[in-house]
Amino acid sequence: MTADFIRKSAGTLMLLTGAGHVALLAMRPMSPELAITAAFGVAYFLIGVFLWRGDGRRALWAGLILPAIGAALSFAANASGKGGWTPIGTAFVVIDIVVVLACLWLLMRRAG
């Protein structure tokens, strides 16, 4: 696998999850948590565009930091006894982790 393939794959995942986060607005009643989720979706979509365009280290850093924050917030919101994990929420977190690892690998590869 080439670095370009990994970057574009991470970008594709960010585009898909970004659209998915925003699509939740049509499926659930509005709440503060949903507004935050939708805002992350817009940011994820933009990161996906930047990763696809190959906008350098800034896109990789954004693809590392924001999904890591999103995954951490998901874990905090779904702590034991606070509710359960939904299949879509689990998929979002898995995608976050995959994108974080891909961007970390690409950043380390460029630094070396």
pLDDT string in tens for the chain (112-residue length):
799 999 999 999 999 999 999 999 999 899 998 899 999 999 999 999 999 998 889 999 999 999 999 999 988 887 665 667 788 888 999 999 999 999 999 999 876 4
Rounded Cα gap, residues 31 and 2, in angstroms: 41
- pTM comes to 0.89
For residue 62 the two structure tokens come to 């954004």
| pLDDT the model gives residue 83 | 64
Q: How many domains does the structure of the chain reveal?
A: 1
Quote the domain boundaries for residue 100.
Answer: 3-111
Question: For residue 23, which of 51, 7, 15 has the smallest C-alpha distance?
Answer: 15
Rounded Cα gap, residues 53 and 44, in angstroms: 14
| pLDDT the model gives residue 112 | 44
Q: What is the CATH number of the domain that holds 57?
A: 1.20.1270
